Amino acid sequence: MNRWLVAALVTLALIVLVSPGIVGHLAEKSVEENLNLAAGENDDIVVTTESFDRGWFTSEGRHRIELRQGALHSVFVGEDDASNAIPALVVDTHVDHGLLPLSSLARDVSSLKPGLASTVSTIALDPGDGEIIKLPGKIYSEVGLSGATASRFVLEAGSRNIDGGSVEWQGADVTVKTNPASGAVSVDGSVQPWDAIYEGGGEDRSRISFGDIRIYGQQEKSPYGLAVGNIKLDVGPASAAGGSGPANGFQSLSIDAHSEIIDDRMNSAAKLAITGIKGSDLGGVDIALDVILNGLNAQAAGRIARALQGIQGNPDPQGALSAIYPLIESDVQTLLVSGMEIRFDRLDVALPDGELTTKLRFSLPPTAPQSDFSWPALLLALDASADIRLPVALFEMAQEMSPDAGMLVAMGVLKKSAGYYEMQAEYAKGLVTVNGAPMPIPLQALQQ
């Protein structure tokens, strides 16, 4: 037999038989890194390894993702919860490792794509009392040679009875790609409609329903520590009803946002649209928001963001902010003197009695260096405008609640025109003009 063919066969045998044991060490580390990256940088979320039994061709691991005390814990568990219960997700993972993971062929979703590992994970919920509740669906992942991971969550249609209620879902298919080396994360997938019903009697009966959810996004960390990228989220009808009362919710919700850094300046834009909002006192409200931020000093903003992240979950956020401000004051000043533009191109609320429309603009050009920082100088450099238009019926409602609102008309701040009250205001060089009337601002008072 040709010696080159023999050498090739021996090499292939080494890859198939020897590499799994060697790669298993790398796969274990990669699984943990990707779990930590998926959990994010929030201090409230902690990932721990409960076990990892490494074999030659396969391994079994269990990781615990806990929601520690902090802001998120207060939201989901409650600030007044006196128990020591810490809710957690328990992730059990089966790993087929090796450059050619032959053992994965026995699975429903398999691949011989070269990499560190091919995994399948199941998820369970531990509410904090030790009772493990298995959650439906599986996560199929492929860990590449560089440590990058592509994970696909697959949920078939089904239903489950839970504590006097039931949950019914039509399925989900979501793919998340992570790269611990670069910090890049992307998500692409959809969740089909689902319903949760509590079968209590009379007023205790409740129902929560969600329509289709579609999400796409990608994000990576910039050298300044700021995350940049884009995300698009579309949610179909959502409602929540209790007892015999009307359902609250909305018809549709969409978010479209992106951000980038060019020449050390961060630019971002976001659009939010919610239609058909219904509540106890609302009967069909639409909200639309378009906001743009241009020219933000990325270096200063990154340092401020990292400092603010450190006080998340603090029981006294105002006190913590006051304590940390001296540490970020120079960065705040640098951010402002570097210049920026903030625009609300659209801030509209459509009500049954008419539509409230708002446009706001704040433009701050680069000013004096930080050593010469002055709040009055900053305000003199500011260029801003505001256009507000609200229906007469809405203004009259506000006036009934607060009679002082009528002073806005008397002062000329609001001007009636064709069924609406309008305000057109501009600010430049210390002078405010409202509906054509100048209103100087005493900036000298700021220097005292």
Under DSSP, is residue 188 helix (H, G, I), strand (E, B) or coil?
strand
Of 43, 23, 25, 45, the C-alpha closest to 35 is 45
Mean pLDDT of the chain: 79
CA dist., res. 29 & res. 31, Å (int): 6
* Cβ–Cβ under 8 Å, residues 293 and 261: no
Residue ranges with strand state E in 280-339: 282-297
CA 249 to chain centre: 20
DSSP 100: S
Which amino acid, residue 172? A
Of 337, 343, 335, the C-alpha closest to 301 is 335
Q: What are phi and psi of 173, to 5 degrees?
A: -150, 105
Provide the phi-psi class of 436: left if phi over 0, else alpha when psi is between -120 and 50, else beta. left
- Whether the pLDDT of residue 25 is over 60: the answer is no
Of 158 and 88, more confident: 158
Q: What are phi and psi of 122, to 5 degrees?
A: -120, 155
Least confident of 5-19, 35-49, 110-124, 422-436: 5-19
Q: Helices marked H in 66-161 — which ranges?
A: 71-76
* Cβ–Cβ under 8 Å, residues 56 and 142: no
* Cβ–Cβ under 8 Å, residues 13 and 19: no
pLDDT band for 82, please (50, 70, 90 cuts): very low
Please measure the distance between the N-terminal and C-terminal CA atoms of the chain and give it in whole angstroms. Answer: 95
- Whether the pLDDT of residue 406 is over 80: the answer is no
The average pLDDT across 154-183 equals 86
The average pLDDT across 94-112 equals 57
pLDDT digits (tens, 9 = 90+) for 125-145: 887 776 788 888 898 888 777
Length of the chain: 448
DSSP 446: G
pLDDT band for 65, please (50, 70, 90 cuts): confident
Q: CB burial class (10 A; 0-12, 13-18, 19+) of residue 221?
A: middle
* Cβ–Cβ under 8 Å, residues 432 and 425: yes
CA dist., res. 76 & res. 309, Å (int): 19
